[in-house]
Amino acid sequence: MNADLTDAEWFKSSRSGGGQECVEVAFLADAVGVRDSKDPTGPALVFAPRAWDAFTQAIGRGAFD
């Protein structure tokens, strides 16, 4: 999936403590972007919103613990 991330507004979890070794997320109209905060100009992963929702629900259920 490709998406234009040029004007994306990136954020990281408030639990990150302001560190620079975090995952940043951007919600777009038809995609969710994910990138490494240490390399903001580097590559980003792009997911369909349904895939991102399934992933975050799995995290909430403890599927990756």
pLDDT tens digits along 29-42: 999 999 999 998 99
How many Cα atoms within 13 Å fall on the side-chain side of residue 40?
12
**Does the model's pTM come out above 0.85?**
no
Residue 61 pLDDT > 80: yes
Decide if 1 is inside a domain.
no
Q: Please check whether residue 3 lies inside any domain of the structure.
A: no
Pairwise CA distance, residues 37 & 33, whole Å: 12
**What is the domain count for the chain?**
1
Residue 43: predicted pLDDT: 93
State the residue range of the domain holding 35.
10-61
In a domain, 50, yes or no: yes
